[in-house]
Amino acid sequence: MDVILSRAGLSAAQQRNVCFGAVKDEVKQTEAKLADALASLKKLREVVRVARDVHNAQPSLVGLSTSARTAVAQMTQVSKTISPLLEEIRSSLNTFATPRSFDYSTEEEDEEDDELARWRDRTEQRSAFQRLRSLYDRFAALRHARETSRFRSKKDNVRCTRRS
């Protein structure tokens, strides 16, 4: 976050790169922490299962100390906040990635927008051409299969009439 806040004096493209880099780094750090947390929870689950099996306890946490039950309840409460938080982050990233129109823009941003529009047009044209080519190939394959089956059926009819 300090990286984003210290971006004064940078061009729009440089600011964008700094922001994207900061988000990417933070996502990596969060993923690592989340992986550690999940591993820890899985280990806790295994310890509870083994303890229950060893002591032939009920599946509930009746025999668990009050502090352990409280800690598990707190973890459960925290887990309920994770999903909405992730949804909010996902939504923010989607709006962050979507180009917005402002009342002002620099010449460099205008050039970048034009370049992006040209790239999108080329991509859409390539995609449309690929879809058209795929449809043509399927049509040709179907036509070939139909002609082949007609040829076979004509051959079979000719064979049948010759035998008769």
The pLDDT value recorded for residue 157 is: 57
Question: What would the DSSP string read from start to end of the chain?
Answer: -HHHHT-TT--HHHHHHHHHHHHHHHHHHHHHHHHHHHHHHHHHHHHHHHHHHHHT--SSSTTS-HHHHHHHHHHHHHHHHHHHHHHHHHHHHHHHHS----S---HHHHHHHHHHHHHHHHHHHHHHHHHHHHHHHHHHHHHHHHHHHHHHHHHHHHHHHHH-
Please report, in tens digits, the pLDDT of each residue of the chain (164 residues total): 555 556 567 777 778 788 888 888 888 888 888 888 888 888 888 888 888 777 765 555 555 677 878 888 888 888 888 888 888 888 877 776 555 544 455 666 677 777 887 887 788 777 777 777 777 777 777 777 777 776 665 555 555 555 55
Structure tokens at 20: 């994207």
